[in-house]
Amino acid sequence: MYQADFPHVRSWVFDLDNTLYPPEARLFDQIEARMTAYVMQLLGVARGEADRLRSHYWRLYGTTLAGLMHEHGADPAPYLVDVHDIAFDRLTPDPALRAAIAALPGRRIVYTNGSAPYAERVIAARGLSGIFDAVYGVEHAGYRPKPERGAFETVFARDGIDPARAAMFEDDPRNLAAPHAMGMRTVHVAPVAEPAEHIHHHTDDLSGFLSALGR
């Protein structure tokens, strides 16, 4: 049983998008549209090319922002404000998830490739405010994105996390490779499993998975 893999864990690290809310909310559709529009304006390219660059930079650098910074010297601050200016009406409070996270022993944090202010708004819309000890965005990693190991190391050092006593919950499998290499328990949160050596567990029901740990 997977419960046996977590008694040592005292730091619980959660990704945000499509992890603390279901993918069916499709928030990232809004964000991607705003990213494409931002690239169009910043680089003066047509929508098709902007959309291609958005996707290309995400695959190559981990985030579109990282690609824009590396390739074009983009200022990250206005980008993060603009692309996260979205509606949250598709999100609803999740009391079961709140109870499951609040019951975890030790420290509970959110770490996202988005911005911390955006993360706080998502957390509030999900009814999860007040149960996390800290919320970290890409700005706390010096704008270096997951899946870069250095990004994780920066945030974990800032928080005082011992990876050997921590677990990482992520919807993007590639973002679990570095945590696994650092000694963390890794959990892929997604509708469909993508088995890999760096993924210890998969779940399509985060609240159910977490609730079972206390049984």
Q: Give the CATH H-level superfamily of domain 2-22+91-213.
A: HAD superfamily/HAD-like (3.40.50.1000)
| DSSP state, residue 62 | S
Q: What is the C-alpha R_g of the chain?
A: 17
Domain boundaries, the chain: 2-22+91-213, 27-83
Minimal CA–CA distance to 189: which of 9, 175, 143? 175
Helix (H) or strand (E) holding 139: none
Q: Around Cβ 54, how many Cβ atoms within 10 Å?
A: 23
Q: Is the pLDDT of residue 27 over 80?
A: yes
CATH class belonging to 27-83? mainly alpha
pLDDT by residue (tens digit) across 104-146?
A: 999 999 999 999 999 999 999 999 999 999 999 999 999 999 9
Distance of CA 129 to the CA centre of its chain: 17
- Overall average pLDDT of the 166-183 stretch: 98
Per-residue DSSP letter, 197: T
Q: How many helices (H) and strands (E) does the chain have?
A: 9, 6
Contact 33, 42 (CB under 8 A): no
Give the C-alpha separation, 167 to 186, whole Å: 6
What's the full length of the chain, in residues?
215
Which pTM does this prediction carry? 0.94
Domains 2-22+91-213 and 27-83 fall in the same CATH topology: no
